[in-house]
Amino acid sequence: MNAINLINVNKNFGKLRVLKCINLNIESGEIVSIIGPSGSGKSTLLRTIMKLEEIDEGIIKIKEEAIANVEEGIKVKIPKAVLSSSLKNLGMVFQNFNLFPHKTVMENIMEAPVMVKKMSKEESIGKAEELLDMVGLLDKKNSYPSELSGGQKQRVAIARALAMKPDILLFDKPTSALDPELVREVLQVIRKLAKESGKTMVIVTHEIAFAMDISSRVIFMDNGEIVEDSTPEKIKNTTNERVKAFLQNIT
Ligand code: ADP
């Protein structure tokens, strides 16, 4: 089954063409990393899938249901109910964690299940504790984000995304804001999810070795375009000059 579909997607910021006719199919259960130079449109691509950015042209579908559809500049209206049920399939982890600063770790994780999913408080406490255990932070459940390291904050953010039980997880440069010594603990959690959760995962990252290691598929973007979309092995041995130059520069 298709988890994510982009068909001829274009996105501009003013005069800047940030996504240029993007076509992309991601099957359910795939682990896909998106790599490429800064400013190439990777985060924007992810944000359009999450409906955090509107597109200027094209179609985006989540599990075969359109969440964005713009034909020749004319927006096709998506019913609110369809949109919200489609978006429930998605969870996103942001570069800057986006935790609520005035809520404890537990409250951060319980907020959406209780408010959006109408889960009982008891059930959500049980679920939150399970998730905190999974990311190794059960002992921090009553702490506030300001009392945590960056790596711990990001692990809480991952637990929070998982609390809504999404089938599809989007990671937007999840380790970019972290000090180098904190990157590993976050990558370990993502690696575990990739191995064990069965969820579809799309990861925008600068951690190239990690991306090559955990992904079934790697996409290289440059200048708003998908330049190469292949297996890690093929990307590593690419003949494409742009991809080669990028990989040589960062290793
Ligand atoms: P990447 O994730 O590959 O680093 P981005 O998707 O963040 O690239 O950005 C692509 C381009 O779009 C960059 O030139 C960036 O400056 C620009 N951009 C991103 N977000 C906005 C915005 N909200 N307004 C204007 N320009 C933006």
Cα(42) to ligand 1 centroid in Å equals 8
Percentage of the chain beyond pLDDT 90 is: 93
Structure tokens that stand for 105 in this block: 């770790």
Interface predicted TM-score (ipTM) over 0.90: yes
Pick the atom of ligand 1 nearest to 38's CA: 4
Structure tokens that stand for 141 in this block: 């459940």
CB atoms within 10 A of CB 117: 13
Is the distance from the beta carbon of residue 47 to the nearest atom of ligand 1 less than 6 Å?
no
Residue 62: per-residue pLDDT: 98
Is the distance from the beta carbon of residue 42 to the nearest atom of ligand 1 less than 6 Å?
yes
Cα(39) to ligand 1 centroid in Å equals 6
Output the pTM of the full model: 0.96
Cα(224) to ligand 1 centroid in Å equals 10
CA distances from 194 to 49, 102, 174, 251 (A): 20, 31, 14, 24
Domain ranges of the chain: 100-165
Is the distance from the beta carbon of residue 54 to the nearest atom of ligand 1 less than 6 Å?
no
Alpha carbons 226 and 142: distance in angstroms, whole number: 43
Pick the atom of ligand 1 nearest to 221's CA: 3
Is the distance from the beta carbon of residue 215 to the nearest atom of ligand 1 less than 6 Å?
no
Cα(41) to ligand 1 centroid in Å equals 6
Residue 242: per-residue pLDDT: 94
Give the tens place of pLDDT for each residue, 29-68: 999 999 999 999 999 999 999 999 999 999 999 999 999 9
Give the tens place of pLDDT for each residue, 61-113: 999 999 999 999 999 999 999 999 999 999 999 999 999 999 999 999 998 88
CA distances from 108 to 36, 89, 136, 149, 159 (A): 32, 19, 16, 16, 9
Residue range 192-216: average pLDDT?
96
Residue 251: per-residue pLDDT: 61
- Which of 9, 12, 13 to probe ligand 1 with, by most ligand atoms within 8 A of CB? 13
